[in-house]
Structure 1
């Protein structure tokens, strides 16, 4: 005979499988939040963008040059020292020829031109990026508002845009920089205020095209207000154009900043590439033939402008393949 298990007050454990979850429970378990779905779509979009961008060799060269210049600008204190801009502690003699100690020679104060070139990249890039951001921000707001609203709102905005568009940009920037304080923020403000009309025109045209689509009418029929339509429907559709325009505007902003600095309208206490050209002209580097003082900042300006232009063309080609930009 076999012994029976003792009787206890505990409930015996069962090994039977639990009841299968219903379809609704499975759907709830696998469903993602709207934020997670949006993040997943963003990752897929960025992956597709990078896959297409890599096929543009010129865009890759421009991106590599920008990354290198940005790293140099960020690491300037480590590369050339924090006191390389000082006039009183200049390590060399005035206007020395290039040598092992000073690969690009010295300026009229005995400072290393290479060190000044590295420090100037910080100011030139900062002014170019911030001025381009201000320009694109103003142009995007004006373009969306002028394309969304009809009547006298759009008429007034576009007449103001046309006035800025026909006026010489450089002349307006010089006028603003002359009447305001000579500082880096004045140059940023002058460039941003005078270069936004082109962006506004492009964004307005894209806004009109977007608002003619059927889903905009459906959003209005469902009670969507002006802010909802402009922010949730129009803005995401014009952002690719805004992104491509930004990369193209940055190069123009850097050239304008260099021009204002060369004319002596920027902050004289900071070192920029345009300011270096101004200092070289005042020191007589042109007549004396000191090419090492003139050529490096000019080539740096041209290189950065070319790099941003190459990146902008590649971005524009990826976002709008019908353009057929050469790779």
Structure 2
């Protein structure tokens, strides 16, 4: 009678081994990320804001943005009934800030994903195909880099209908060039490695090379860039809303600032109308930036980012 002395890890199937490797890799990345105090602080702040956004219908109610039947008087100072005062319609500013987190975070996330997706596609294809295609795409990228992103976004949002989709599209299609440049440089570095030449010699086509070899190697850069882009997208959304180019039917942090400006809160000294949405924008943007820097340093230790 023989006894199987093969280790359990060798007896497991390929899918089990792949899951084990992914779990081990995730645990290793989390251990490295948790050593960055600034990154943990930013992540904790984002978790708090995400929970507030998800539970907003339960905590402040879905009718908090309704102008009719507002619970307070216009521009009431903070009190026991309204911790952050009321706006020009008598609505609770605290409830509006909590509810506005849903729109601002959603727009920032979707716009960043769209921007990074466009930049990744342009960067990988321009780095892979070279020649005339790469020259044309890089000249287009340079044109977008030279033009102010905010000006292009304002122009696009002006000629289109005022909606969240317009804001997301305006931010996404004007902020991709930086990602394209970074991804193209990484693609050129990856395709200079010997195993790419072996894959081509074995019959690997363009799609195989880009999807199976280049994309996995640029994904860490894409992930870090996405985290950083969310911060910029939230600030861009707030700017467009402040300029009156956002969706007037929804509540966002930038929209609250625009309402406060129209109500004359700046000259009247109604600070409770201006400060809360401004602080939330700054805190969330800073939190995403801290997380992005921490992720960047974990995925690329050579950067030597301070902890």
**TM-score of the superposition, structure 2-length normalised?**
0.97
Say yes or no: does 1:284 pair with 2:260: no
SS of 2:246 mapped into structure 1? coil
Which one of the candidate residues 268, 281, 290 is aligned to 1:301? 281
Residue 177 of structure 1 corresponds to 157
Residue 182 of structure 2 corresponds to 202
Residue 55 of structure 1 corresponds to 35
C-alpha deviations, 1:127-172, integer Å up to 9, x for none? 0000000000000010000001121111111111111111110000
Aligned residues: 307
Q: Distance in 2 between matches of 1:56 and 1:29?
A: 32
Residue 106 of structure 1 corresponds to 86
Describe the shift of the 1:317–1:115 C-alpha distance in structure 2 as closer, same or farther (beyond 3 A): same
Say yes or no: does 1:324 pair with 2:307: no
Q: Distance in 1 between matches of 2:162 and 2:35?
A: 44
Between stretches 251-260 and 216-225, larger displacement belongs to 216-225
Shift of 1:22: 7.8
Q: Distance in 2 between matches of 1:185 and 1:198?
A: 22
Residue 48 of structure 2 corresponds to 68
Alignment of 1:105-144 (within 5 A): 105-144=85-124
Say yes or no: does 1:315 pair with 2:291: no
SS of 1:194 mapped into structure 2? coil
SS of 2:208 mapped into structure 1? helix
Shift of 1:175: 0.5
Structure 1: any 5+ residue segments left out of the alignment?
A: 1-18
Describe the shift of the 1:21–1:128 C-alpha distance in structure 2 as closer, same or farther (beyond 3 A): same
Say yes or no: does 1:249 pair with 2:229: yes
**TM-score of the superposition, structure 1-length normalised?**
0.91
Structure 2: any 5+ residue segments left out of the alignment?
A: none
Q: Distance in 2 between matches of 1:219 and 1:146?
A: 19
Between stretches 39-48 and 114-123, larger displacement belongs to 39-48
Shift of 1:28: 11
Q: Highest Rg: 1 or 2?
A: 1
Q: Distance in 2 between matches of 1:311 and 1:149?
A: 33
Which one of the candidate residues 6, 16, 23 is aligned to 1:43? 23
Say yes or no: does 1:232 pair with 2:212: yes
